[in-house]
Structure 1
C-alpha cells in the first residue's frame, strides 16, 4: 500500500541581501514564496500599495534557501519519493546532505527517488534557489540576447513571463515552493501516470487509457480500471511497466459547454493490485464530448469555428491571467469565485494566456463542472525564445507533463503554441540582427504539435494566437482564423472596431481604473488625482493615461474632478467592449467568437480587466453580462459603417427559435418620444436576422433610438456623442428600502439618465450591486439591489446611496 504525506509544515527560510533584509530560519509557508514569507513576518510592506513594489526588487536578485526537518517511520517500503508539484524556479534539492538534483522550470512537476537516502527518524531536506535574475541573465549572456516586449530576461528561464512585470502587472519575480511538496512511500510498484484519451465514436464513449508503472520488484501486478459501474482487469507481467486499456460505454450522456446542454461527469478509477492487495490508486472525473476546430478555407478566407459534439459554438470568451501576482495565494475558493463571475457574465470560454501558468486542478475541475470551455496557451508570450539546450528539453518535459495532467478534463478544448510570438516575428523588428538564430518557431511548428498529437490526440492544436493558418500569410490577417485587435486601444477610437471583418477575435480590450474601494486600497495619495504619483505607478501601460484621456475627449463631457474621471473612464471602457462585441456578434457566422482582454487582475491596477484585483466588478462586467446574453438586439451602421443608415441586428444564441416583437422609440435629447416602431422577429436557433430601418426611423441631430424594457438587454443608438448631446441635466428621485441581505434603491427618471450606475463600495468596501449602465427616459424606473449587511443595518447611509458620487449618470 502506498502512503502520500504532504510536507507543508515546519519549513524555514534563510537568505537575503546586505543592506536590505537578511533572515536565518524564518518560518516559511509551503506552498508559498519568499515574498509571502517576508510579508507575513512584517519584514516588507505590501507590494500592492503605492510604490512598495520597487522596495522588493532585490528579492528576485537574491539566492534563498528553504529547509525542513521531518520524521520518517521505520515501516518497510520498497520505494520512497520526494515529489514537488511546483519549484520556482532554479533550485538545487538535497536530502540529508546528498544532492538529489537541480531544476530550472516552475511549470512542471519533479519526482526524486530518495529510497536509499531517507532514514528512520529525523531527515533534513534543503531546497536552495538561485536568484531568477542570476539564472536568466547567465543564460542570456551564454546564448545572446533575444527580443522581448519588456526589457527583462524572462524569456531565458522557464518561469511565468508576467513574474517580471507586464503592462497590467507588478515585477515580483522571486522564488519559492509554490505548489505542494510530499513524501510518497510504496511497496512493490506505484502508478507513475494515467493518461485517459476520451472520445465518442458512433454513439459510444471510448476511453483509451495509457497506464505507466514504476516497479521496485519484478513481479506480476494487476490493474483494475472502472468506469460507470463497469470494470476491466489487466495483468502487467514482471517485465512490463505499462499497459494500454480501452473502456467503452454505450450511449453516454454528452458533456456540453454552458448554454448548449448539461455537463455530466463520470468517475474513472484505476487501482493497482498485487497478491490481492491494493498498492496504489488514481481517480478522476471525465466527460464525453468531441472537439473540432474548423479552419478549412472558404470563399471569404479561413474560419476559426469551434465545434463541440459536431455543433458550432459562438465563443463568448474572456482572457485569463493568474488571479494573484503571488501565485501561491491562489486557492480553490478564489478560483471558484472568479469562474462564477465569468459564468454570471454569460461567458462560455476562458483562454488561459501564455504569459502566466498552467492552472491548477481546482481551476479545470471547476470549469468541467460549470461547462466553461478552456483554451490553454503553452507558456510563451511576447518574446523570442531560445531553442538551444537546456530549453528544448525543458519545454518538451513541461509540455508532456501538463498534457498528461490535463488530459482528463472535458472543459479543455484547445492548445495554442504561444501568445503573439509569430506576430512579433513578422511585425516587431525581431529579425534584424539574428536571422540565423532560433526564436521559438521549432516549438510552435514542430515540437508542440507532435506532443499534442502523441500525448493527447483528442484536442486540436493551433500554432499561435494570432495565427492565420499558413506560415506565408500575415499572422494577424482578419480574414484568416484568429486575430488580435490592439490598434484600437493603442491608436484609434473604439468605434474603429467596426473597421474589420474578423473571423475570430482572440484579444481586444480597453482600459479603466479599478473600483473606488480598490483604488483606495492601492494608493494613499492625497489629494487623489488621475495623475497623482501612485495612481501613475499603478498604470503600467505605455502612455496609458494619455490613451484614456483620448477616449474621454472623443466621447464624454469634460472631467471636473477625480470622481468624474473614475466614473467616465469606467463607462468608456464598458462602452468600448460593448460596441466591439455587439459588432462581432452581428457578423455571425462569418465571425464565430470574441475573447475580450481580460476577465481578471492579479493586483490592484488600472487595466483592461472586468473584475479588479480586489475581486470587485467594474462596470465593464455588467456590460459583458448584457452583450454576451443569449438573445441580443443591437443597432449597427448599415453598409458596414460606410453609410448614414442604421440597421437592427437580432442574434439568437439559444437552441430555441426566437419569435418575438421588438419595439423601439426615436427620442429627442430631452427624452420626448418622436416615433415608435415594432419589428417582428422570427429567428431560428443559433441564428441572426438583420432589419434595415426606414429612413424616418433613423435619428439625426441629437436624437437617439432606444428599445423598450424587453426580456433582452436594452439597445441604444445615438446620433451624437455625449459631449455633443444637448442633454438636460440629470434629475431623478430615488428611494432606498431594506431587502434581505441589503438595500434596494429605486430610481425614477425625470430626465434622460445616461448609463446610470450605483457604486456602493464607496460606502462599504464589501458591498456589491446587481446592475449598472442603465439608460432611462423620463418616467421610467430602475431598481438597483445592493448586497451589504453593513448598509442594511445602517439607514443613516441610505441617503448617500441615492446621490452623487455613489449614484451617477453621464449627464449629471
Structure 2
C-alpha cells in the first residue's frame, strides 16, 4: 500500500546568510512561508518587499538572489497497513518527494542531511525511512545562492558563452529568471512545487509511460494503449509476483509481474476509440487511464492494492514531415494524418514567480489563445517545463503543444555535473508529459545552433570543448526515442535539418525572422517565402491600466527612468518609434496624458498591423509555408514587449489582429511594392467554404469605383487568389483607395492602398451613442461614420481598468456603422465614452 501525504502547511522562512546589500532590518528574519512558493512572494506577503513589478522595485531586490534562505516545517507520519500477504514484510518505507526545488538546496530531516539538489526542472525523492519518528519530524530546506554554485562551476570546468551577463547557462534553473529582453532579473529561491511524504510497503508504481497506437490513421475505431510500468520494490527484498492491470475507455487487461521484476508492460485493446483532434478540426475526447499494482492477500482472500497511477489520455497520431522537396525542406505537422496549418504563439512563463501559477491562471492565459483561433502553443526554452495543469488545459482545449527542452541562447557544458542533470531532467519530464495528447513535438533548443553559426561563437570557443550540440543531436533524441517513440523530435529552432545547411535558412525547416523589427520595417516581411516561421514579431507598449500601475514616477510618459526600466530590449523604445514613423506622422504634445495615449494607440496599432501583415503574407503561401508561431502571446510582468496580452492580462491591439489573421477561413489583402493588390482566401477549416463574395474599391471619400462579384468554393486546405482591379489613376502614391472583400454577411477584409501619411484622409466625422447591454454587465457603443474612419479603436480601459471590448481596429466607409460590445462596470451615461482619447481613429492623428 502506498500513501501520499502533503508535508506542511506550517512552513517558516528565515534569512540564513544575507547578502551585503540586504536590509539590516531583515538579517534576523523569520516569517511564515507558503509552499509552494518562493522567497519573493513570502516577503511580499509579509509586507517586507516593495513590488518588483512597479516603478524601480526590480532594482531594490537583487540582493535576494545573493542571499541564503531556509524553509522549515514539522510533519507526522501517517499510519500504513501491513503489507498484503503476497508481499514480503520489511517495514514501511518513507520517502520525501520534492516535485520542484529552486534550485541549489540541502535537505535535512531531524538534523541529518538526506540529499542536495541543483536542478529546478526535475523531481527528487529521498529515502528517510531510518530517520523519521511518529511525530514532530523536523524538515529544513536550505537554499544556497545560485551564484556560489555558478562561480564554482566556472572555477571547475570553465565559463560558457551566453547572450546575457548573468550565468543562466551554468545551472539548471529557469533562464529568464536572470533577465531577458522582455523580463526582469528576479533570481528566486524556494520550494516551487508541492512536497509529499510517500509511505509504502512492499512495492509501488514508480513511473508509467503510455504508448498509444491507432489502427487506422485519421479514423475512429480500434486502438491500443500500452502502459510501460516501472515498479519499485522494498530494498533487501527479492519480491513476490504482482498483478498489473490497466483500464481505459471501458476496456481492461492484466499481466503478471514476475517475482523480483521491476518492469512490466500491459496492453489494452480499445475497440471504439474516438480520435482527439486539434481545435478547429474536431473534438477532444479524453479517457482516464488507470494502472493498478496488486498482490494476493487481501482481507477477503482476493487481491490487495499496492499502488495505482491515473492520467487522462487521448487517441491520435502525430508526425513531422521533413522530407526535402524541390523548394527545400518542409516542416509540416500532421495530426491524425491531416496536415495542420499551424496558427501558433510562443509562450513564456506567465509570471516571474511561477510557484503561484495554477489552473485558474493558466486557463485565463490560454483562453486568450483559444479565443484568437490559435491552435499551437510553443513552450519556449528559456522558461520551465510547465505544470501539469497547463498541459491538461491544452488537452481539453485542443491546443497543440510544441515543447522546447530548456536550452536557450547560450552554449552549455557537456561535462559533469551538468550532463547528469540534463539527462535526469529530460527523462523526468518526457515521462511526466508523455500522456498528454496535446503535446505533438519535442524541440532540442532555442537559437543555439544558429548562434554558434552566426553570432561569433565559433571564433571564441575552444574547438575541442563541446558546447551543447551533443545534447541536441544525441542525448535528447535518444531519450525521446526510448521513452516517447510515437512523438517527433527536432534538434532546434531555428534548424534546417542538416549541418550542411545554414540553420536559419527560410527554405529549410523552422526559421526565425528578426531582421524585421531589429533592422527593417514590417513591410519587409513581403520579401520572405519561408517553409515555417517559429519566431517573428514587433514590439508594442502595454495597455493603459498596466502602464499607469507600473510607471509611478508621475504622469506616465513613453520615456524616462521608470519607463526605460520596463523596456528590456536593447534600444527597444527607439526601434518602436522608428517603426511608427513610416506609417504615421510624428505626433508631439506637451500634455502627458495625450502623449501617452497617442503613444499607446500608435505603437500598439503599428505592432498589430505589422504582425498581421506578416501572418497574412505567410498564410497566403499555404501549403508551401505550413505555419507561423508569433513571438509572443503573454508577458510575465508589466513591460513593453512583443506580447499580444500584457503582463496584467489586458489584450493589446495585437491580440485582435491575431484573431483576425488566424481565422480558419482567412482573407488577406496585400500589395507588395510595385505590384497589384491581391486578395487571398485560404480555407483551413474543417469543412468546405462556399460563399458569394465581392471585391470592391472605394475612394477615401466613399465613392464606389469597382465592384467585382465572384463565388468562393474552397475545400479544406485550398486557397484562392483574386487580383484586384484598381482605377487607372491608382498608381499615384498619394491616390489612396479602400479595398474591401465582402462576404455574404460581413466584411472579410479591408485595407488602404497607401500609407496613412500619404492617403489624404479626411478629418474624422462620426457620432457616438451608448446604451446599456440588454443582457447586462456592460454597454454597447454605437459609432456611425460620416467619413472614412481608419482603424477605429475604443479605449474603454480609460474608463474601467478591467473593461474588455469585443473588437478593435475597425475601418468604416461613410454611412457604415459599428457597435462595440463592452464588458465593463462603467455606466452608459458616463461622458468619457465620447472623449477624443476614448474613441480613436488614425484620421485624428494624421489631421493633428
TM over 0.5: yes
Match of residue 702, structure 2, among 656, 659, 671: 671
Residue 456 of structure 2 is aligned to residue 420 of structure 1 = no
- Offset from partner CA, 1:313-345 (integer Å, 9 cap, x none): 000000000100111111110101111111100
2:193–2:355 CA contact under 8 A, matched in 1:
yes
CA shift, 1:580, in A, is: 0.3
Q: Give, in whole Å, the separation in 2 of the partners of 1:629 and 1:299.
A: 29
- Listed as ranges, the matches of 1:188-337 within 5 Å are 188-202=202-216, 204-216=222-234, 217=237, 218-274=239-295, 275=297, 276-337=303-364
- Offset from partner CA, 1:378-401 (integer Å, 9 cap, x none): 000011111110111100000000
1:205–1:249 CA contact under 8 A, matched in 2:
yes
Q: Where does structure 1 lack aligned partners over 5 or more consecutive residues?
A: none
CA shift, 1:136, in A, is: 1.6
SS at match of 1:468: coil
- Listed as ranges, the matches of 1:486-505 within 5 Å are 486-505=514-533
Residue 575 of structure 2 is aligned to residue 523 of structure 1 = no
Residue 151 of structure 2 is aligned to residue 133 of structure 1 = no
SS at match of 1:715: strand
2:136 maps to: 122
SS at match of 1:548: helix
Residue 749 of structure 2 is aligned to residue 715 of structure 1 = yes
SS at match of 2:472: helix
1:633–1:715 CA contact under 8 A, matched in 2:
yes
Residue 66 of structure 2 is aligned to residue 61 of structure 1 = yes
1:479–1:501 CA contact under 8 A, matched in 2:
yes
Output the TM-score relative to the length of structure 1: 0.97
Structure 1 window deviating more from structure 2 (676-685 vs 36-45): it is 676-685
SS at match of 1:303: coil
Residue 635 of structure 2 is aligned to residue 601 of structure 1 = yes
Match of residue 704, structure 1, among 738, 749, 757: 738
Output the TM-score relative to the length of structure 2: 0.93
Q: Give, in whole Å, the separation in 2 of the partners of 1:730 and 1:380.
A: 51
1:780 maps to: 816
Q: Where does structure 2 lack aligned partners over 5 or more consecutive residues?
A: 82-90, 298-302, 589-594
Residue 755 of structure 2 is aligned to residue 727 of structure 1 = no
Q: Give, in whole Å, the separation in 2 of the partners of 1:479 and 1:563.
A: 41
CA shift, 1:224, in A, is: 1.8
2:244–2:266 CA contact under 8 A, matched in 1:
no
2:19–2:66 CA contact under 8 A, matched in 1:
no
SS at match of 1:168: coil
Q: Give, in whole Å, the separation in 1 of the partners of 2:248 and 2:555.
A: 63
Q: Give, in whole Å, the separation in 2 of the partners of 1:83 and 1:287.
A: 28
CA shift, 1:151, in A, is: 1.0
1:570 maps to: 604
- Listed as ranges, the matches of 1:64-213 within 5 Å are 64-73=69-78, 75=80, 78-202=92-216, 204-213=222-231
- Offset from partner CA, 1:17-61 (integer Å, 9 cap, x none): 454232443111100001111111111100000111011101111
- Offset from partner CA, 1:628-664 (integer Å, 9 cap, x none): 0011111223xxx364312211111113222222223
2:494 maps to: 466
- Offset from partner CA, 1:69-90 (integer Å, 9 cap, x none): 2222565652111000000001
1:12 maps to: 12
Q: Give, in whole Å, the separation in 1 of the partners of 2:427 and 2:228.
A: 14
Q: Give, in whole Å, the separation in 2 of the partners of 1:237 and 1:22.
A: 57
Residue 738 of structure 2 is aligned to residue 738 of structure 1 = no
Residue 394 of structure 2 is aligned to residue 378 of structure 1 = no
Q: Give, in whole Å, the separation in 1 of the partners of 2:232 and 2:553.
A: 59
- Listed as ranges, the matches of 1:406-445 within 5 Å are 406-434=433-461, 435-445=463-473
> CA 1:698 to 1:186, structure 2 compared with 1: closer, same or farther past 3 Å?
farther
Match of residue 50, structure 1, among 44, 47, 55: 55
2:316–2:336 CA contact under 8 A, matched in 1:
yes
CA shift, 1:698, in A, is: 8.7
> CA 1:667 to 1:68, structure 2 compared with 1: closer, same or farther past 3 Å?
same
CA shift, 1:717, in A, is: 3.2
CA shift, 1:587, in A, is: 0.1
Q: Give, in whole Å, the separation in 2 of the partners of 1:183 and 1:697.
A: 79
- Offset from partner CA, 1:535-584 (integer Å, 9 cap, x none): 11100001101110111111012223221111000000100111000010
